[in-house]
Chains A and B, each alone.
Chain A
Amino acid sequence: MTAESLSAPYTVEFPFERTVGPKIGTFLGGLRDARLYGVRTERGVLCPPLEFDPRTGAETGALVPLVTTGTVTSWTWVPSRPGDPLPHDFAWALIAIDGTIGALFHAVDVGGEFARMSTGMRVCARWRQDRIGGMRDIECFEVVP
């Protein structure tokens, strides 16, 4: 008689339908149109936008169109894996979009050359051809030419 553990298949599900509302919805719709929006607060413009200022809980104000350039404030170098936005090694970075406070988290492409990566470097968004209204409509950020 062989010892055998019982096993059964189990599929993890996430059967939820999120609502994003007018503020985040406009931001996501903007990404689909290759436009970047921030949102006004008493402290300055936040990008990505939020419905409430996490510091005070106050409702945020109007959405404002932004340029798609910014400055890297912090980063980490990672080897590329399947499913990553780039086929070669790249950086995950916090990027302060021009005219905003805070930072947006995204990939930065420096052609796999670690030595080209630095805090304070200037980057701009590279848009995907087929956009659906999600953060990955920005393929990555790249060095401002």
Chain B
Amino acid sequence: MTALAVIGVGQSKQAKRREVTIGAMVREAVAQAMADAELTFADIDAVVLSKTPDLFDGVMNPELYLADAMGAVGLPVTRVFTGGSVGGHAALYGAHLVEAGLARRVLVVAYSKESEGNFTWALSRGLPFSVQLGAGAGAHFAPVIREYIRRSNAPEHIGWQVAVNHRLNATRNPYAHVQRPDITVEEVRDSRMLWDPIRFLESCPSSDGSCAIVITGEDDAARAERPPAWIHGMAWRTETGHFAGRDEVNPQAGRECAADAYRQARIVDPAAEIDVAELYIPYSWYEPIWLENIGLADVGSGWKLVEDGRTAFGGDLPVNPSGGVLSGNPTGATGLLRFAEAALQVRGMAGEHQVDGARRAIGHAMGGASQFHALWVVGSAKPGKDRA
């Protein structure tokens, strides 16, 4: 079985992008990833598209609509579809195609253009005989966060501090949507309450943006012009959104997804063996929640890593050096952006948000009601022959 690697990464600026079409915005990321990999469309064997539901920006079958913009003319195209985690799942699906020997080089593409649609309408539109709550995504997650705070006895300022950390990280990332270099804990604390305990500045924005990566086997990775990001472990797990006894604060699917990836990567002490983590954190409190869920902190103590500054940019376990979802959220691309940031970090190509000496990184994505979980561990060194 071949080793797998990311040899090209591209992304668009995340913002309200009214000046470009969906196709042109997707092409920005595709062209950058292809240039990074020093490949042309003729070198690609398969294309994977990551996208939120069609209603979010109103294009049916975007995998067909974008065939030319993605350079997919004459190639097999697969669309992956798992809620907000979709970009992570698409990356893993692309890697699976190479690993299975079905393709030699796969282009994985992801986007959302949320300025063209109405997210809250799409999530909760009025249908006959069904209740239209229009509560928004935050209203779903807020009670889960309250329960986390109750169990862990975390002080209230943890959420505010995470919001500040991620926004300061974003100032080092020119692609990030939200740019607030002067943000303070007091400003987050005093921002408008949206869904208790989630305040405005503890929430992700709605963005337009795209991301693309090129995945190959070891022969192409060894020949790449720039350092590859080797895939050391990858997994996805899913559970349904509602069932008796479900623990949404610490979902079983997330725990088992991470454990599987660590087992493949031969990681026994994740917090010590991982240099940087790029996690899907749409509301600030999801930093300690996911740190615990994926085993980077003991249950009940994830918030202490925030309190001690360990997950800030200069800390020993930096989280979301790109600025994360809190600083830019083109939902269809959000998961892939996390996976791509992990790859950039171990390639030493993350620019001003490069974590010094990052050799092993986590890319993580979550979707739905914390139902869909995807995670990969990438590294600067080629993994041993017996991954998995």
Q: Give residues of chain A (1-42) contacting chain B, Cβ–Cβ below 8 Å.
A: 6-10, 13-22, 24
A59 touches B116 (CB 8 A): no
CB distance from A49 to the nearest CB of B (A): 12
Chain B residues, Cβ within 8 Å of A17: 115-117
Which of A6, A13, A14, A52: most chain B CB closer than 10 A? A52
Q: Does B2 contact A (CB under 8 A)?
A: no
**Which residues of A have CB within 8 Å of B243?**
none
Interface residues of B in 96-151 (CB under 8 A from A): 113, 115-118, 121, 125-129
Q: Is A57 an interface residue (CB 8 A)?
A: yes
Contacts of B69 in A (CB 8 A): 51-52, 57
Contact flag A9-B128 (CB < 8 Å), given A15-B121, A17-B116, A55-B73: yes
Residue pair B117, A16 in contact (C-beta under 8 Å): yes
Q: How far is the CA of A16 from the CA of B126 in the complex (A)?
A: 16
Which of B22-30, B162-170, B287-295, B339-347 is found at the contact surface with chain A? Answer: B22-30
A54 within 8 A of B: yes
Which of A22, A52, A55 is the one whose CB lies under 8 Å from B23? A52
User: At the interface, yes or no: B361 with Cβ under 8 Å from chain A?
Assistant: no
Whether B68 pairs with A52 at a CB distance below 8 angstroms is yes
Residue A53 at the chain B interface, CB threshold 8 Å: yes
A9-B128, A52-B68, A57-B68 as given contacts; A19 in contact with B22, CB under 8 Å: yes
Whether B113 pairs with A19 at a CB distance below 8 angstroms is: yes
Q: With A7-B128, A10-B127, A19-B22 given, can you name 17 additional A-B contacts, CB distance below 8 Å?
A: A10-B126, A15-B58, A15-B117, A15-B121, A16-B58, A17-B115, A18-B116, A21-B24, A22-B19, A51-B24, A51-B27, A51-B69, A54-B67, A55-B73, A57-B67, A57-B71, A59-B27
Q: Contact check, B21 vs A51: say whether CB atoms are below 8 A apart.
A: yes
**B281 interface contact, C-beta 8 A:** no
- Pick the contact of A19: B68, B116, B128 (CB < 8 A): B116
Assuming the contacts A54-B73, A57-B73, asked whether A15 and B18 have C-beta atoms less than 8 A apart, the reply is no
Given the complex of chains A and B, what is the CA–CA distance between A11 and B225 in angstroms? 55
* A56 CB-CB contact with B under 8 Å: yes
9 closest Cβ pairs, A-B complex: A16-B58, A8-B128, A52-B68, A21-B21, A57-B71, A57-B68, A57-B73, A10-B128, A54-B68
Number of interface residues of B (CB under 8 A): 30
- How many contacts A-B (CB < 8 Å)? 70
Show 10 A/B contacts (Cβ-Cβ < 8 Å), sorted by A: A10-B126, A15-B58, A16-B58, A19-B17, A20-B21, A21-B19, A21-B20, A24-B21, A51-B24, A51-B27
Q: How far is the CA of A8 from the CA of B130 in the complex (A)?
A: 11
Q: How far is the CA of A22 from the CA of B18 in the complex (A)?
A: 11
List B1-52 residues whose CB lies under 8 Å from chain A.
17-24, 27, 41
- Please indicate the chain A residues that have their CB under 8 angstroms from the CB of B67 in the complex: 54, 57
Residues of B within 8 A of A57 (CB): 41, 67-73
Across the interface, A52 reaches (CB within 8 A) one of B27, B113, B129, namely B27
**CB proximity of B75 to chain A, nearest CB, Å:** 9
Instruction: Select from chain A the residue with minimum beta-carbon distance to B22.
Output: A19
Contact pattern, A 57-99, Cβ under 8 Å of B = 1, otherwise 0: 1010000000000000000000000000000000000000000
**Chain B 69-109: CB-based contact to A (< 8 A → 1; otherwise 0):** 11111000000000000000000000000000000000000
> When the two chains form their complex, are residues A19 and B20 in contact, meaning their CB atoms are under 8 A apart?
yes
Name the distance in Å between A39's Cβ and chain B's nearest Cβ: 13
Distance in Å: Cβ of A18 to nearest Cβ of chain B: 6
Closest approach, in angstroms, between the C-beta of A102 and any C-beta of chain B?
Answer: 14
A residues in contact with B24, CB < 8 Å: 21, 51
User: Are B73 and A56 neighbours in the complex by a CB distance under 8 Å?
Assistant: yes
Q: Which residue of B lies closest to A55 (CB)?
A: B73
Q: How far is the CB of B145 from chain A (nearest CB, A)?
A: 30
Query: Chain B residues near A10 (CB, 8 Å)?
Result: 126-128
Nearest A residue to B122 via CB reads A15
> With an 8 A cutoff between CB atoms, is B63 at the interface?
no
Assess whether B57 is interfacial by the CB under 8 Å rule.
Answer: yes
CB contacts (< 8 Å) of B70 on chain A: these are 57
